Structure 1
């Protein structure tokens, strides 16, 4: 009987959270991600599109979030012509993100610390190439938009091409292990 009472209380608590929580679906057409990858001789930037996403609010505070990124939309924006085609192709290949096999990447919030009403520190599970690792970043909410800068160590996801951490004598062909994502969300 005690177990049934515990289960009933848990269901009531879950129902209460669901009733009080609001899920805001991300407008992927108004949202975007700009990536920056660095190497010894410079950097490259580009875009990648969200496939879907949502933020969960309770009493106007962020309480959850899940996102799916369409990895097939990797697009270099600082190059044109053959250079752009070459880099886009290489980033989509198995050396990097292997988009033929891994068409999406996902991010799911696992812990949210409120800094103040509109600023949060988020820890999330990021899955790239089927490998899930935690990432931590700050999220700023302003009305119906949110922004975040997420730094990702690509080697944690098996992406070691050109990494000075794994290969010696790369010289000026060394690529930074970390890349940065500037995320803008709208709903």
Structure 2
């Protein structure tokens, strides 16, 4: 009896593993220390650039074709690269505050691919669920894959994630203090 129960349990574990896992797929972990995420935000009077650290990530392939991906970004690492000294420290702090990304209560953001379509030899149109400040919205963007590297550029509308500071979508008469809602993310991955 014990032998039959053990055999049944092992069979169930083995079968569920085979059914749940991709048969031909390959998951490639991203090298977080060699990958970069750069942001650029725009305002009436100019722009700012910076970086944010990738905490973890993986791309999924089937017979060499991109089929999926999942990434987590460490929001507490958001920083400005076009300023120095007190100005840099002030903007770094402001980006981490509740006016922007509330990193104390939302230390990570995630992106999970939900649909991947080939659009060329090494390029793909990807739709994914982007979660910022606990708010999940779909985004669509292009990804290029060459060897063990991938690149993507995303336009993100911060108003959809309740990032209100200086936004004309939430406040009137901001004049030259307006910060545009859309910002760019440029992602360079190594895996």
TM-score, with structure 2 as normaliser: 0.89
Q: Partner of 2:129 in structure 1?
A: 125
Task: State the match for 2:161 in structure 1.
Answer: 157
3-state SS of 2:106 partner: coil
Please point out which of 15, 22, 26 is paired with 1:22.
26
Out of 135, 144, 150, the position equivalent to 2:139 is 135
Structure 1 counterpart of 2:172: 168
Give, in whole Å, the separation in 2 of the partners of 1:89 and 1:177: 19
Q: For residue 166 of structure 1, report the CA deviation from its aligned partner.
A: 1.7
Q: Deviations for 1:13-54, whole angstroms, at most 9, x for unmatched residues? A: 846x62310000000011010100000000000000100000
Aligned Cα root-mean-square deviation (Å): 1.5
Are 1:87 and 2:94 counterparts?
no
Give structure 1 stretches of 5+ with no counterpart. 1-9
Does 60-69 or 108-117 show the bigger shift?
A: 108-117
1:63 aligns with 2:67: yes
Structure 2, gaps ≥5 residues long: 1-14
How far apart, in 2, do the equivalents of 1:76 and 1:65 lie?
Answer: 27
Which residue number in structure 2 is paired with residue 31 of structure 1?
A: 35
Q: C-alpha displacement at 1:12, in angstroms?
A: 10
TM-score (norm 1): 0.91
Bigger radius of gyration among the two: 2
Query: How many aligned positions are there?
Result: 177
Q: What displacement does 1:177 show?
A: 0.3
Q: 2:50 aligns with which of 21, 36, 46?
A: 46
